[in-house]
Amino acid sequence: MTPRGPADVGEPDRIFLVTGGRTAAGSRVFDLVTLVVRETDRARDLGPEHQRVLDLCQHPVAVVELSAELGLPVVVTRILLEDLLAAGHIRVRSPRPAARAAGTTGPDTAVLEEVLHALRRL
């Protein structure tokens, strides 16, 4: 087995400039599947990366999708999103768990038992 090298996170200088030297997101608002949508079209006081995020957030988009589209690590994307949220440029919505969305308290135990029996038969 070949040992893996360090992950390529892009150009370190660019990432440092984009985040203003910050290395971690300040809050836990942004999960990978948190949906983000813009509230304003453009903001003159923001840098090009922030503008690109706003362009990508015309419709609700997940944080992980934004990160992939921007070609930036997720932590950098979260920092950009925190800046935009603090300035009121975006709106954030965390997805509801399936049980709450369906109005139940949890998964159907009968279905889980059927799945368990089917797995045991394999």
- 1 part of a folded domain: no
pLDDT at 65: 94
- 85 part of a folded domain: yes
- 6 part of a folded domain: no
- 90 part of a folded domain: yes
DSSP bridge partners of 92: 36
Domains contained in the chain, number: 1
Residues 71/49, Cβ–Cβ less than 8 Å:
no
- Containing structural domain, residue 100: 12-121
- 42 part of a folded domain: yes
- 55 part of a folded domain: yes
Q: Which of 66, 118, 57, 61 is nearest to 90 (CA)?
A: 57
- 3 part of a folded domain: no
- Other CB atoms closer than 10 Å to residue 37's CB: what's the count? 13
Residue 22 belongs to domain with CATH number:
1.10.10
The pTM (predicted TM-score) of the whole model is 0.64
pLDDT tens, the chain, 122 aa long: 455 544 444 555 566 556 655 656 666 678 888 899 999 877 677 788 888 999 999 999 999 999 999 888 888 888 889 988 988 999 998 876 655 555 666 667 888 888 888 888 88
